[in-house]
Amino acid sequence: MNFGLTEEQQMVKDQVTRFAETQIKPIAAELDKTHRHPEEICRKLGEMGIMGVAIPTEYGGAGMDIVTYVLAMIAISKACASTGVIVSVNNSLYGFPVNSFGTDEQKKRYLTPVAGGKVEGCYALTEAGAGSDAAALACRAVLKGDKYIVNGTKRFITNGNVARYCVLAATADPALAYKGVLNLIVDLKETKGFSVGKIEEKMGILASGTAELVFEDAEVPAANLLGKPGQGFKQMMMGLDCGRIGIGSQACGIGKAALEDALNYAKERVQFGKPISSFQAVQFKLADMATELEAAELLLLRAAWMEDKGLDYEKESAMAKMYASDVAMKAAIEGVQIFGGYGYCKEYPAERHMRDAKICQIYEGTNEIQRMVIARKLLGAR
């Protein structure tokens, strides 16, 4: 068992960490305050290969592995959780299905610019009545000649307000349930009948746009179907497995930021004539935070390693996402507690970490759904 990184993995980790600390972290509070999409950061990360870490070089990516993706995601999310989820969606929810199920022509046209960081991608799954129940889609895609006619509304779509391309989950017929699900690649800028609806006002990850996508008799070329009819639900589930590694890594990065800030503050804050880091109550909080976050990172790296090896990693990705997001939320709460009253004020980043951490327990499958996935695998159920 080797816990060491390869020379390439260590190099990328160091490079991304330096970039995140010097270019992203200094503007994270401003991005949070203004809700501004960090376009200039995304373009630079694209030049570094981080918007398509594991995508082959012929399709605009860096051609590296998922372990490297985890390392990069943790470093970026530690600096800014909003930037982290933008990177995650590009790599996982959009990049994975197009790379895994797209034709060579589809990948050259629709994956290359996203993996290269020139534009953003998104994945439109969630609807008002379909979230955890991913097969209950109401968005219809009806084949007419050489086009699909799409009608429906998607909710809570990360990058939806800025994305150029979208993998759209729809149904050919709601009566078919999961057998009717299909995925279409949509050029959002060139599709008549498409519009961006409501932009959500959220608790956290405020520099990451979360939008409503509206399709009204929108025409999508039949050639943009991923795979074959009837394969959409399986594609969706496999994409979510990959996406959970990304969101777990985002959570781990947020937790590490909360720990680092709390640790530094505890050394500086003096009460009763000595730093609060000398008090056992604070030391125990820091020790628990550090231990749980390191365990989360190991779970993430194991799931990533299994994906790289082509193994079944559904259970492991669910475990990693669930655990990482739970301990990140705990670390963020404890971070605020260590900061005391200052932790509740925007002068310090502790309150931002707490707001950002919560969503990681919800999106990419709630942690209740993750527990169902884990239990199903343990019990051998389908």
Active-site residues: which are they?
Answer: 364
| Separation CA 133–CA 321 (nearest Å) | 18
> Considering all CA atoms of the chain, what is the largest pairwise distance in Å, rounded to the nearest integer?
79
Closest C-alpha among 271, 254, 266, 253 to residue 338: 266
Distances (CA, A) of 208 to 162, 166, 247, 382: 9, 16, 14, 35
Closest C-alpha among 362, 22, 377 to residue 203: 362
Phi-psi region of 230 (alpha: psi -120 to 50; beta: other; left: phi over 0): left
Residue partners of 20: CB distance under 8 A and separation at least 6: 75, 76, 78, 79, 80
| Separation CA 151–CA 128 (nearest Å) | 14
